[in-house]
């Protein structure tokens, strides 16, 4: 009597199979990943049993491992493992009878996507059936680790169910033999299998042999405890996954359980390749689930502004119920993103504290990304603010300060954190905007790039202190000794009024300044949300003039300056000459603020004034 039994697949499983057989044509190579990860799971279970040391295990001398062989002539590929194996009943249940919850979710996802995607298969825990993408028939030979087990043979062509019969004398473990479809014969070539194993399964814990060669020699060190990993191992690993011959600047190896399970090993390359090269870099953090690669260069794991990171994130919570497409906007991915980003920013803050020199180096390379982070989303601004560094009037040239240090140094009267944009440190320290700070001995952050202004403006406050542009700060020069010839309050107000009339629409308002010491006058931006330099930057970036609020600048004059005092006298003597001088004073102030766009009128005026000055006497 034949011992062969014929079974039908459970209805949902048959549906999965029909999809796999009839509509999956791309990414078919992932069947290797799926069968190898099943083999690795079986090895893992064996190792667990062995460590328990309870029951006698069949073939105790055979170590857990995976071997893949190909037969090009026969058109077959065999994935064999020495893991726990399956009993007859387990084969019936696991490979065809009991549809687990993933099966239904897979079917749902396919229905929603309106197209099947081979990637879905592994993620819904129906990986075994991926074999049918490439195989006409699949044969599974297996013998359980249980001491009284015998070998069994399971065979199926997908449609029409499967058969099961005794399989004779077999070693412990499972062999999955695929008889390849005509259009999948390439998978019977050993180099092809080798390539796929290297791509997806390089970090599997158990040895994988393909065609007699041991492949996976790089260990999944991220899954080990930090104290057990040697420095050289980290270096070797980084060289391997980072494709970088230089040592990384930073390395962060950590695990977390809540709110989501994470094992991560992240690296900051020693150089920012985006400034070196031409193109935008892409995050090179690979997403794994229990050491098996789920998505290389995974999208959405980190915010865009951390795209310089390289490494590995492994989460066993991830792939079972999410497809790759839908993972992009899933809650799970957001959780992962938040947890990883918070952890990395915390790490940077710690390094800045413990290791300021290394942090400085990091900051020089990567500050643009942190600033991009401030400008692109609000979620991490508090943490990012702590990481920013700027030169200031209190630091030595080329040295920087953190906002926290700045706040610590703030004297009693100073309520706000102030910054000043200028082309250079010298230009900033000799600009009219700095005079009041110098007089008050207040510190000001010196920034040299327009983006810094926008970043500080966006932060808005730090440690409860408002962050404002120097020109917006409401400080006054403390009372000083009167200067010979300085204007009285009445004279100064009178001059300001006259100047407003003379200058007309070129200025919004003329005021007597309380912020100037050595300069005769200064222009200030009238719009409360802009600074003079922001206006200049925006203008340069702008294609049409719509977005920019219109408005002439405010103009402040220094009643203690000789030029201003003489102007007051002159307006009563030669009003026309005084008007020209007033206009020139305004243009000078604009020029020093970088706001003078068209110098032609000014040059004409200067030439006229020179002519007068040089008139024969």
Q: Which residues bind ligand ADP (CB under 6 A)?
A: 34, 38-39, 41-42, 81, 83-84, 86, 94-95, 125-128, 174
Decide: is 123 part of the binding site for Mg ion (CB under 5 A): no
Cβ 502 vs Cβ 579: under 8 Å: yes
Nearer to ligand ADP among residue 206 and residue 419 (C-beta): 206
- Least distance (Å) from ligand ADP to the CB of residue 388? 46
Nearer to ligand ADP among residue 97 and residue 430 (C-beta): 97
Nearer to ligand ADP among residue 97 and residue 508 (C-beta): 97
Cβ 141 vs Cβ 86: under 8 Å: no
- Least distance (Å) from Mg ion to the CB of residue 128? 6
Select the binding partner of residue 94 from Mg ion, ligand ADP, none (C-beta < 5 to 8 A, by kind): ligand ADP
Select the binding partner of residue 42 from Mg ion, ligand ADP, none (C-beta < 5 to 8 A, by kind): ligand ADP
Nearer to ligand ADP among residue 84 and residue 565 (C-beta): 84
Q: How many CA atoms lie within 13 A of 596 on its CB side?
A: 19
Among 274, 265, 335, 271, smallest CA distance to 300 is for 335
CA 539, distance to chain mean position in Å, is 30
Torsion, CA 107, CA 113, CA 114, CA 115, rounded to 10: -80
- Least distance (Å) from ligand ADP to the CB of residue 347? 33
Decide: is 83 part of the binding site for Mg ion (CB under 5 A): no
Other beta carbons within 10 angstroms of residue 567's beta carbon come to 23
- Interhelix angle for 575-593 vs 600-613, to 10°? 130
- Least distance (Å) from ligand ADP to the CB of residue 194? 20
CA 522, distance to chain mean position in Å, is 42
Q: CA–CA separation, 301 vs 38, rounded Å?
A: 26
- Least distance (Å) from ligand ADP to the CB of residue 266? 28
Select the binding partner of residue 43 from ligand ADP, Mg ion, none (C-beta < 5 to 8 A, by kind): none
392 φ/ψ angles, rounded to the nearest 5 degrees? -150, 170
Q: Give, in degrees to the nearest 5, the angle at Cα 486 between 438 and 583.
A: 85
- Least distance (Å) from Mg ion to the CB of residue 291? 13
- Least distance (Å) from ligand ADP to the CB of residue 297? 24
Residue among 83, 96, 127, 151 that touches Mg ion (CB under 5 A): 127
Query: For the chain, what's the residue count?
Result: 617
Select the binding partner of residue 586 from Mg ion, ligand ADP, none (C-beta < 5 to 8 A, by kind): none
Decide: is 38 part of the binding site for Mg ion (CB under 5 A): yes
Select the binding partner of residue 565 from Mg ion, ligand ADP, none (C-beta < 5 to 8 A, by kind): none
Strand partners, 255: 263
Other beta carbons within 10 angstroms of residue 63's beta carbon come to 13
Nearer to Mg ion among residue 79 and residue 516 (C-beta): 79
- Least distance (Å) from Mg ion to the CB of residue 99? 14
CA 298, distance to chain mean position in Å, is 11
- Least distance (Å) from ligand ADP to the CB of residue 20? 11
Select the binding partner of residue 174 from Mg ion, ligand ADP, none (C-beta < 5 to 8 A, by kind): ligand ADP
Nearer to ligand ADP among residue 80 and residue 455 (C-beta): 80
Q: Which of these segments, 33-41, 370-378, 422-430, 584-592, binds Mg ion (CB under 5 A)?
A: 33-41
Q: Find out whether the peptide bond into 259 is cis, omega within 30 degrees of 0.
A: yes
- 315-318 LR contacts (CB < 8 Å, sep 24+): 315/260, 315/261, 315/262, 315/263, 315/287, 315/288, 315/289, 316/261, 316/289, 316/290, 317/260, 317/261, 318/287, 318/289, 318/294
Q: CA–CA separation, 444 vs 395, rounded Å?
A: 10
- Least distance (Å) from Mg ion to the CB of residue 120? 13
Select the binding partner of residue 351 from Mg ion, ligand ADP, none (C-beta < 5 to 8 A, by kind): none
Q: CA–CA separation, 103 vs 99, rounded Å?
A: 6
Select the binding partner of residue 450 from Mg ion, ligand ADP, none (C-beta < 5 to 8 A, by kind): none
How many residues touch Mg ion under the rule CB under 5 A: the total is 2
- Least distance (Å) from ligand ADP to the CB of residue 247? 38
Q: CA–CA separation, 198 vs 221, rounded Å?
A: 16
Burial 192-227 (b: 16+ CB within 10 A, else e): bbbebbeebbbbbbbebbbeeeebbeebbbbbeeee
Q: Which of these segments, 38-46, 354-362, 492-500, 594-602, binds Mg ion (CB under 5 A)?
A: 38-46
Strands of the sheet with 292-295, listed across from one edge: 250-256, 262-268, 310-314, 284-289, 292-295
Nearer to ligand ADP among residue 154 and residue 555 (C-beta): 154
Nearer to Mg ion among residue 295 and residue 365 (C-beta): 295
Q: Give, in degrees to the nearest 5, the angle at Cα 91 between 87 and 96.
A: 165
Nearer to ligand ADP among residue 20 and residue 421 (C-beta): 20
- Least distance (Å) from ligand ADP to the CB of residue 128? 3
Select the binding partner of residue 81 from Mg ion, ligand ADP, none (C-beta < 5 to 8 A, by kind): ligand ADP
Nearer to ligand ADP among residue 125 and residue 207 (C-beta): 125
Which residues touch 264 (CB under 8 Å, ≥6 apart)?
Answer: 222, 252, 253, 254, 255, 311, 312, 313, 314, 340, 343
CA dihedral over 100, 101, 105, 107, signed as positive or negative: positive
Nearer to ligand ADP among residue 86 and residue 336 (C-beta): 86
418 φ/ψ angles, rounded to the nearest 5 degrees? -120, 150
Q: Which of these segments, 50-58, 125-133, 473-481, 575-583, binds Mg ion (CB under 5 A)?
A: 125-133
Nearer to Mg ion among residue 122 and residue 303 (C-beta): 122
Q: CA–CA separation, 447 vs 62, rounded Å?
A: 67
Q: Which of these segments, 92-100, 119-127, 457-465, 592-600, binds Mg ion (CB under 5 A)?
A: 119-127
Select the binding partner of residue 149 from ligand ADP, Mg ion, none (C-beta < 5 to 8 A, by kind): none
Q: Which of these segments, 120-128, 210-218, 401-409, 450-458, binds Mg ion (CB under 5 A)?
A: 120-128
Nearer to ligand ADP among residue 206 and residue 555 (C-beta): 206
Which residues touch 132 (CB under 8 Å, ≥6 apart)?
Answer: 17, 20, 21, 138, 158
Q: Which residues bind Mg ion (CB under 5 A)?
A: 38, 127
């Amino acid at each position: 009597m034949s011992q062969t039994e014929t079974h039908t697949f459970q209805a949902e499983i048959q549906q999965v199979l029909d999809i796999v057989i009839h509509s999956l044509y791309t990414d078919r190579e992932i069947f290797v990943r799926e069968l190898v990860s099943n083999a690795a799971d079986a090895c893992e279970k064996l190792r667990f049993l062995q460590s328990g040391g309870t029951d006698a295990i069949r073939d105790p001398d055979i170590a857990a491992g995976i071997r893949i062989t190909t037969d090009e002539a026969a058109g077959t590929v065999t994935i064999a493992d020495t893991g726990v194996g399956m009993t007859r009943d387990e084969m019936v249940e696991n490979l065809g009878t009991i549809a687990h919850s993933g099966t239904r979710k897979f079917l749902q996802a396919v229905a929603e996507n309106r197209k099947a995607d081979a990637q879905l298969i592994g993620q819904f825990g129906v990986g075994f059936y991926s074999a049918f993408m490439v195989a006409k028939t699949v044969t599974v030979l297996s013998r359980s680790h249980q001491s009284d087990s015998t070998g069994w043979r399971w065979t199926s062509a997908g449609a029409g169910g499967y058969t099961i019969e005794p399989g004779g004398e077999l070693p412990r473990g499972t062999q999955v033999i695929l008889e390849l479809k005509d259009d999948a014969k390439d998978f019977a070539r050993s180099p092809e299998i080798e390539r796929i194993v290297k791509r997806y399964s390089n970090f599997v814990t158990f040895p994988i042999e393909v065609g007699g060669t041991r492949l996976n020699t790089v260990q999944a060190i991220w899954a080990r405890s930090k104290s057990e990993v040697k420095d050289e191992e980290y270096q070797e690993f980084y060289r391997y996954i980072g494709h970088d011959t230089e040592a990384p600047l930073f390395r962060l190896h950590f695990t977390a359980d809540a709110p989501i399970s994470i094992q991560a090993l992240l690296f900051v390359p020693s150089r920012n390749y985006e400034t070196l090269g031409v193109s935008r870099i892409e995050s090179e953090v690979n997403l794994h689930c229990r050491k098996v690669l789920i998505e290389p260069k995974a999208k959405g794991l980190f915010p865009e502004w951390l795209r310089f990171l390289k490494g590995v994130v492994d989460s066993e919570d991830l792939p079972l119920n999410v497809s790759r497409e839908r993972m992009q906007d899933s809650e799970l991915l957001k959780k992962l993103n938040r947890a990883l980003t918070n952890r990395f920013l915390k790490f940077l803050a710690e390094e800045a504290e413990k290791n300021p020199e290394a942090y400085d180096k990091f900051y020089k390379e990567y500050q643009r990304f942190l600033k991009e982070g401030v400008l692109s989303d609000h979620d991490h601004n508090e943490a990012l603010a702590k990481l920013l560094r700027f030169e200031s009037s209190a630091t030595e040239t080329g040295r920087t300060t953190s906002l926290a240090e700045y706040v610590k140094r703030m004297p009693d009267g100073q309520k706000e954190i102030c910054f000043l944009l200028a082309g250079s440190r010298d230009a900033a320290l000799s600009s009219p905007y700095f005079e009041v700070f110098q007089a008050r001995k207040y510190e000001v952050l010196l920034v040299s790039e327009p983006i810094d202004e926008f970043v500080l403006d966006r932060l808005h406050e730090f440690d409860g202190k408002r962050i404002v542009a120097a020109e917006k700060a409401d400080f006054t020069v403390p009372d000083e000794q009167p200067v010979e010839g300085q204007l009285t309050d009445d004279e100064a107000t009178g001059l300001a009024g006259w100047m407003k009339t003379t200058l007309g629409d070129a200025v919004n308002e003329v005021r007597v300044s309380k912020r100037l010491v050595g300069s005769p006058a200064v222009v200030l931006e009238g719009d409360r949300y802009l600074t003079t330099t922001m206006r200049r930057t925006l203008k340069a970036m702008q294609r049409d003039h719509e977005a920019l609020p219109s408005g002439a600048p405010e103009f402040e004059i220094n009643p203690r300056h000789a030029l201003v005092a003489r102007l007051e006298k002159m307006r009563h003597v030669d009003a026309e000459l005084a008007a020209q001088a007033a206009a020139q004073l305004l243009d000078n102030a604009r020029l020093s603020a970088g706001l003078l766009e068209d110098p032609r009128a000014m040059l004409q005026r200067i030439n006229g004034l020179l002519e007068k000055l040089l008139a024969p006497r």
